[in-house]
Amino acid sequence: MSSMASRSHTAPVHTSAAGWSNFPSEYAVPDRAPSDEEARQYCRRLARTHYENFSVATWFLPQRLRQHFFNVYAYCRISDDLGDETGDAETSLRLLDEWEAELDAGYAGHPRHPVFVALADTIREFEIPKHEFSDLLTAFRQDQKVTRYESFDNLLGYCRYSANPVGHLVLYLCGYRDAERQQLSDYSCTALQLANFWQDVTLDYAKGRIYLPLGDLRQYGVSEEDIARQQNTLAFREMMRFEVDRARDWFRRGLPLVGKVDHDLATDIELFSRGGQEVLNAIERQAFSVLGLRPAISRRRKLALVARAALVKFL
């Protein structure tokens, strides 16, 4: 986890609750709320130090939206960490409950955590329904209880909460709230989630999770032991070819969204979609052998994607 700059001393942090000590002190709910400006600085700092691709994406955002994106990102980042970085399901569930209590407090007008203090303006200005935030917590709670998915439809049900709300939040920030664009966004966000799953089969298995549908494993004659032993058998690679093609189909379904939003958002959507498709290309380049060797996009290829997005934006 990336290191974070020290926070202002104007809002003491309460760290006695079990579980919060696993994270930077800044994650814990403070005894009293920071000022609005301190809260905004907190979100900017978190976004800029935790995920380089997010910082790249903000190059293409209108200045007026950047702080709102920082606020939303900070919420998503901490939510994800609470669900994935404790190493203990009971601790994660307890912290996610505390985090949702702060979300409720934010919508009620009396939050203490800087993320929700900063989000208050975002929620008010863009009239974002609370479920778009709480749905993510549903997914992270599910990760503590469900470690296998019988069918692809079951997996899509998980993506509905783990990935699709992020796309909805982006659309709200950019002024779109209609069902048609949300559906197209769902296709793209689900595709990105699938690409991440196929990239991280080994890492997820180390956490006790398999996101590959069990029905597909049986259909192709792949066992959990193959995954555990990191055996890229012919059957496993054929199954991964099928999964990669399926993810590409979902990217294709979401593609029309690019033509239904303004130029700035279209640039971001294309950048992230192409990034996800490059992950799939990386899987194919190593003959679908993802076990024990995580497919990655080279730095040179990442720069090429950003350069292409910049060219499209400024033409």
pLDDT, tens digit (0-9, with 9 covering 90-100), for 77-122: 999 999 988 888 999 999 999 999 999 999 999 999 999 999 999 9
pTM score, whole prediction: 0.86
Q: In whole angstroms, give the CA distance from residue 314 to residue 159.
A: 33
CATH superfamily of 146-315: Farnesyl Diphosphate Synthase (1.10.600.10)
Class of domain 33-145: mainly alpha
pLDDT of residue 240: 98
Same CATH topology for 33-145 and 146-315: the answer is yes
- Given a cut of 60, whether residue 3 has pLDDT beyond it is no
How does pLDDT run across 127-144, given as a tens digit for each residue?
A: 999 999 999 999 999 999
What does the pLDDT read at residue 27? 83
- Domain map of the chain by residue range? 33-145, 146-315
Q: Say yes or no to pLDDT of 314 above 70.
A: no
Residue 301: predicted pLDDT? 61
Q: pLDDT at residue 17 above 70? A: no
What pLDDT is attached to residue 306? 53
Q: Reply yes or no on whether the pLDDT at 176 is more than 80.
A: yes
